[in-house]
Amino acid sequence: MRMWEMWKRVVVCFCLGGSLVMTAWDAEAADKMSGKADPGASSKAIIKTKFGEMEMVFFPDKAPKHVENFLKLAKSGFYNGTIFHRVIPGFMIQGGDPNTKDVNKPETYGMGGPTERVKAEFNDIPHRRGIVSMARTNDPNSAGSQFFIVVKDSSFLDHQYTAFGEVVKGMEVADQIVNLPRNPRDLPTERVEITITIVN
C-alpha cells in the first residue's frame, strides 16, 4: 500500500511538472506570436560619430528594462546631438547626457537625463572590453540615459552597474575617442557628437 501511495505521488509530481513546463512554453509562444518578444532581441544600435560607427547588440534577457529604456530614447532621437562627455584612457567613454547638447553650459555635463529612472538590473555579464553599461548616481536605481562603453576589462564594475549591451563592431572608434585630449574633468577638448539609429 505504501509503495502504491509513493508511486501515485511520483506520477502526480511528474504531471504537475509537465503542465508547468507546458504552460511556460505556451506563454512564450503566445508572446512571440503576438509580437511581445523581448525588446531588443533582434535589434541593434548604430552609434555614429565623426570617427566612424559602432554597432551595438543588446541583452534583453539580462536587463530587459534597461534595453527597453535605451531603445525608447534612441528611437525618439533623444541621444542625437549629445556627446561623449567623459573619457578615461584604459577605462571607458561615457555619453548620453542631454545637457551636452548645449555647448555653452559644459559645467552641467554629466548631470542631465530624462525624468524617468530605471531600477538596477545587475547581472552576471562581466564588464569586459566592449560592454555597454548604464551610468548612475550612488543610488543603484538611478539610471536614466547616460551610458558608458568599456574599453578595457573592468571587473570591479561587475554587479555594481547594469550591463545591457555590447559593441560588436567598431571598437577602434571608441579607442580613438578615449584617447582624445581632455580637461581636468575628463571632458574631451574636442566635441564628439553622436547619432543613434536602431536597426531591427
Residue range 125-168, pLDDT digits in tens: 999 999 999 999 999 999 999 999 999 999 999 999 999 999 99
pLDDT digits (tens, 9 = 90+) for 47-106: 999 999 999 999 999 999 999 999 999 999 999 999 999 999 999 999 999 999 999 999
Residues 6+ apart with CB under 8 A from 28: none
- pLDDT confidence of residue 42: 80
Write out pLDDT tens, residues 19-48: 333 333 343 444 444 444 555 678 999 999
Burial class of residue 55 (count of CB atoms within 10 Å of its CB; 0-12, 13-18, 19+): middle
Does residue 184 surpass a pLDDT of 80? yes
